[in-house]
Amino acid sequence: MERLTQAQQELYEWLAEYIRTHQHSPSIRQMMQAMNLKSPAPIQSRLEHLRNKGYIEWTEGKARTIRILQALKQGIPVLGTIAAGGLIDPFTDAVEHIDFSNLILPPQTYALRVAGDSMIEDLISDGDLVFLRPVPEPEHLKNGTIVAARVDGYGTTLKRFYRSGDRVTLKPANAKYNPIEVAAMQVEVQGSLVGVWRVICEWGMGTGDWGQGRQGRQGRQGRQGRQGRFYPDAQCPMPNARCPMPDAQCPKCILNFEF
Whether 252 is catalytic is no
The beta-carbon contacts of 175-182 under 8 Å, at least 24 apart in sequence, are 175/121, 176/117, 176/118, 177/85, 177/118, 180/87, 180/151, 182/151, 182/152
Q: How far apart are CA 135 and CA 137, in angstroms?
A: 6
Specify which residues 133 forms β-bridges with: 192
The catalytic position among 39, 45, 53, 118 is 118
Based on its alpha-carbon atoms, the radius of gyration of the chain, rounded to whole angstroms, reads 21
The catalytic position among 159, 171, 192, 252 is 159
* 154 closest CA partner among 94, 48, 83: 83
Whether 45 is catalytic is no
User: Which residues are catalytic, by number?
Assistant: 118, 159
